Amino acid sequence: MEYPILPNKSQDPRPPGAQCTSSRRRAVMLMAFGAVALLAIGTALYRAQAAEGESPASAGEKAQAWDQIETVGEEDEWVETVYDDGKWIIIGERGIGIPWYDVEPYQIPIRKWEDIPMYPCSDCHDKWPVNHEQRPMVEEHTDLVVDHGDGHFWCTGCHDGRGLDFLVSKDGRFIDMDLSYIQCGECHFEELKDWEYGSHGLRIGLWRGTRVLRNCVECHNAHSPAIAPIEPNAPPKIRGNLVRFSKPAVEHSEHSKVWERVAPKNN
Amino acid sequence: MPVQNDAPGLDQSGKTHNHWTRRSLLKKGGLWGLFSLLFGGASAVAATAVTEDSGILSDAIGAFFQNHYNRMTKDEVQEALARIERRAKRTYDVDIEVSNDPPQPGVVYGYALNISKCKGYRKCVDGCIEENNQGRDPQIAYIRVLELDAGSLELNRSDHYYDSETVPQPGKIYLPIQCMQCDNPPCVKACPVDATWKEPDGIVVTDYDWCIGSRACMTACPYSARQFNWTEPKIPAGELNPHTHLLGNRPREKGVVEKCTYCIQRARKNRQPACVEACPTGARIFGNLLDPKSEIRYILENKNVFRLKEDLGCEPKFWYYTD
Amino acid sequence: MKSFGSFCRDCLKLVFRGGRSYWIWNGGLLFMAIAGLGGYTHQLIEGLAVTHMSDQVNWGLYISNFIFMGGVSAASLVLVVAAFLYRQPEAAQSVTLGLGIAIAAAVMCGLFITVDLGRPDRLWHIVPFLGELSFPYSMLAWDAVVLNTYIPFTLGLAIYILFLKYNNREPATRGALFVLGNAAILFAISMLTVEAFLLSGHVARPLWNTAVLVPRFVVAAFAASSAIIILVLRLLDRFTERKEKSAEIGILVGVLKVAVLINLFLIAVEFFTHFYHPTDHSASAIYLYFGLDGRTMLVPWTWTSLAFGVIAVIILFNPRLRGRRAWLNLACVLTVMEIWIEKSMGLLIPGFIPTPLGEIFEYLPSPIEILVSLGVLAIGMLIFTLIAKIAIHIELGHTRYSAPDSN
């Protein structure tokens, strides 16, 4: 089992080549398939590559991703509308993080270059020393609300001062920002299992073929993961001449809960 | 039925038959226009109008004599598709594309819904309406979201019209209900003219051009999953979804019953139903029941699932589960 | 066969000849029928949205009346034919009138289901072989087949009997008529049963999904139709030359009083089942008798109909009251109203309330529905009037076959 988690903390996390071991392996595979793959990539890949810039390994990943997606979809236009080009990352043949033995392969979107604001963090944090003290944020990140872990969490619990472009696991290994679900799963392992097997979370794209899953943080804000109530969409509309036949719902609450009905008798 | 869609040089757009009437008429109109320069008069307009009317008439005749879906030849199906496209063009001035994708071999669709994830947003309801071209006034919705008091699943105490400031409300649970594509569908039994049947991929479909509107299927359905077009469905042209299926979301007419088809126009193109995509909570899982590696099979085999009114023996292919 | 031509001619003459009251009556009915047709045209153009039917209550007054008329049609046929074949050959004189009621009610039945269709232009889809009839699973398809066989068959039977009499031959209770009559009875019972199955086959509707619905249907149909026949005979007695016979009324009252009583008994049996330990499946019955969640649109109707039924039983089982003309008439009117409320609207509508998803959405017919229903009723009454006119004249011997040159 290969983990795309950096093997040890002594290694310098910054150089792009150190992103993950499996992508190195794929880079080798890519070289083996060489020109064929490059031809197959096409213009979409070119754009994707331009967007991602400095990571040739993930360009290979995208090539493979596009290849798979196109064999699944019938109509290119739908693939285009459903998949923003060049945003996928292949996680591998198995689920990552916890080695469930029979998890079907899946893909997740790349977020770190475009969708994570201010990434890479090292742009600023290279210049400032990390302050481990728990304190209110007054200069930067003032909009960040940490409502997670009942007040026990502080930035450095997940982000490590030694390399802020990465998350850090409980045993001190670095985790790529796009693989953040591994870190979520360290506590929420039941949810991670459900997510990998497909009973939790969103599958995007097609029902058939390679699964493309939304990452945890696309729905849950990692800093305050609870989802606030929202206004529901409009209730069913009744045909004009029938409105008088449907009266507003009666409040059933006082009858429906059996424990409330039996309570007075026992008092 | 004269089908002139193979007339050469008419389809610059590269799209199919649905343009032929208007395009060819415009061309004819152009020729007539040259004449009218010499002879004056509004003959061009008149000629165009007359031919247009005869198109409507021949379409009406063709629609009247259209055979049952399962008895039509391939050509007749193509004619039916073209007729629907032309009618949409006339009614909404929108170019729609009506497909007739067959069921995929080795696929039976199933649905699972996590009621501990459903928060009652009703996003699925509106996602479905946008996809499936239901009439907007009166409103037809394939999905009903029921609000129930926690502690009971008794439907008779449900609230269909909850409209609180925010959802989820504390102490409430939400139960969306739509067509369950029963494996033993009572609606199919009830129809006197076989206008509704179960496809090999498990979807219960309706031939909207064959339905006589007896509404026996609505009476038979234990899930209230069928809706009737009490009047001519009204859809703003801009909201018409042009990607349609003959047995699915093609525009319907007054006086026929319609229903959820798990978005047959999407499912048979490997896409997920609109309600799945619209749901922001991930409560909805759609997939192939015959694929042991599918997510739906994982849920059925590893979660505690239940089906609504399972005691009625309809074998719905729609499961509810909780985390 | 020569006489058949003259029979047809004479029938037409009878239809088009009549006194002033005959024409006023027919004109009134025709006016109602045309008004109904106008309402139906409006419904055709606007769609069924002009009715008060909804996705929640998707059948309404039309199907209610369809059920009621189906029952009346079948039961009146069985009543008169069975009385004729097995009890009193002298009742043969009322056979054709009973058949007239059966035909008129069956035509109304067909019309009620046609006006209920969303796409009457596609009616040809239900024609066997030409269309696609969903046989044998769909009860509505059965209904269509039975009804479409039943109407011509009954009409043929009526014509046959009238033709015999026209030729001064008393119809015998043996031979061809015995076979035909029994076949007609079989047809009628099938129609009644199939109509009950149309409702009782629905697993989605616990109020109907019970075997006792079929006997309830049959009994109620006999109660209603015997009462209707008595009332019709009384009206004919009053307004035409035909005088009622105590023998025929006696048979009908005998059936009526038993049927009304058994009907009440079956209601009570169902009542017990629903209310001894109410379940979710009793919700419709609770709505029907007591109202649900404060919605009580049907409750006054239900109890009125039950009261009518009880009063009718009291009258019918009291020989002194029953013997008086006015009291018997009252009992018949009450019975018809009771059955019409309780076995059509009162059975159909609560089946939809609450909906299978627990929604309570009520229903009352819209003016258009009432107008169209009255129109259909007028057409049925018109058909009966014409048949009765012919039947009475032939039975009383005013119109009989004579030498071809005499008339």
Residue B29 in tokens:
């109109």
Cβ-Cβ contacts under 8 Å for B194 (sequence gap 6 or more): B68, B70, B210, C132, C133, C134
Longest dimension (CA), chain A: 82
Lowest mean pLDDT among A100-114, C216-230, C235-249, C310-324: A100-114
Q: Which of B159, B262, B321 is the best residue to mutate to test the A interface, defined by the most A CB atoms within 10 Å of its own CB?
A: B159
Angle at Cα A163 formed by Cα A162 and Cα A167, nearest 5°? Answer: 110
Give the distance, in angstroms, between the CA of residue B276 and the centroid of all CA atoms in the same chain.
15
Count CB atoms within 10 A of the CB of residue C269. Answer: 13
The pLDDT score that the predictor gives to residue A144 is: 85
Q: Which of C170, C107, C173 is nearest to C394 (CA)?
A: C170
Determine the straight-line distance between the first and last CA of chain A, rounded to whole angstroms: 61
Euclidean distance between CA atoms C338 and C41, whole angstroms: 31
Cβ proximity of A212 and A106 under 8 Å:
yes
Subunits with 3+ Cβ pairs within 8 Å of B are A, C
Contact B282 A200 (CB under 8 A): yes
Q: How far from the centroid of its chain's Cα atoms is residue A152's Cα?
A: 23
| Residue B72 at interface with chain C, using a CB cutoff of 8 Å | no
| Burial degree of A222 (CB within 10 A; 0-12, 13-18, 19+) | middle
CB within 8 Å of chain A, chain B residues 223-252 = 230
**Smallest Cα distance from A221 to chain B, Å:** 13
Residue of B nearest to A71 (CA): B270
Which B residues, 92 through 131, put their C-beta within 8 Å of a C-beta on chain A?
Answer: 112, 114, 117, 119-123, 125-126
For chain A, say whether C43 makes contact (Cβ under 8 Å): no
Q: Which residues in chain B are closer than 8 Å to A246, comparing Cβ atoms?
A: 161
Each residue of A1-24: pLDDT tens digit? 333 443 333 333 333 333 333 444
Average pLDDT of chain A is 65
- Residue C115 clears pLDDT 90, i.e. is over it: yes
B41 confidence band (pLDDT: 50, 70, 90): very low
Q: From the CB of residue C127, how many other CB atoms can be counted at a distance below 10 Å?
A: 13
CA distances (Å), origin A78, targets A73, A74, B34, B81, B249 = 8, 8, 43, 22, 17
Least confident of A125-139, B75-89, C282-296: A125-139
The answer, yes or no, to whether residue C310 has pLDDT greater than 90, is yes
Does residue A62 contact residue A50 with C-beta atoms inside 8 Å? no
Q: B52: which residues sit within 8 A by CB, 6+ positions away?
A: B21, B25
Neighbour-count burial for B200-233, b at 16+ CB within 10 Å, e otherwise: ebbbbbbbbbbbbbbbbbbbbbbbbbbbbbbbeb
CA distance C55 to C45: 19
Burial of B34 (0-12, 13-18, 19+ CB in 10 A): exposed
Residues of C (255-294) whose Cβ lies below 8 Å from B: 280, 283
Contacts of A231 (CB under 8 A, 6+ apart): B165, B166, B167
Work out the average pLDDT over C375-384.
Answer: 97
Distance CA A225, CA A229 (A): 13
Domains and CATH numbers, chain C: 2-395 (1.20.1630.10)
Please say whether the dihedral angle defined by the alpha carbons of residues C27, C28, C32 and C35, taken in this order, is positive or negative: positive
Query: Of 3.30.70.20, 3.90.550.10, 3.40.50.11690, 3.40.640.10, which CATH number belongs to B109-321?
Result: 3.30.70.20
pLDDT digits (tens, 9 = 90+) for A165-192: 778 777 777 777 877 888 888 889 899 8
Taking contacts as CB-CB distances below 8 angstroms, the residues of chain A near B138 are 237-240
A15: cis peptide before it, omega within 30°? Answer: no
Residue B51: how many CB atoms within 10 A of its CB? 14
pLDDT in tens, B280-323: 999 999 999 999 999 999 999 999 999 999 999 999 999 999 98
Partner B contacted by C400 (CB < 8 A)? no
Using the Cβ of A243 and the Cβ atoms of chain B, whether some distance falls under 8 Å is answered with no
Q: Which of B119, B285, B286 is facing A199, going by the closest CB pair?
A: B285
Q: Each residue of B123-160: pLDDT tens digit?
A: 999 999 999 999 998 899 999 999 998 888 889 888 99
- Give the SS3 label for residue A90: strand
Residue C146 exposure: Cα atoms within 13 Å on the Cβ side: 28
Residue ranges per structural domain of chain B:
17-95, 109-321
Is B50 exposed, middle or buried, given 0-12, 13-18 or 19+ CB atoms closer than 10 A? Answer: exposed
The Cα A236–Cα B256 span in angstroms is 20
Question: The dihedral of CA B217, B218, B221, B226: what is its sign?
Answer: positive
Cross-strand pairs, B197 = B205
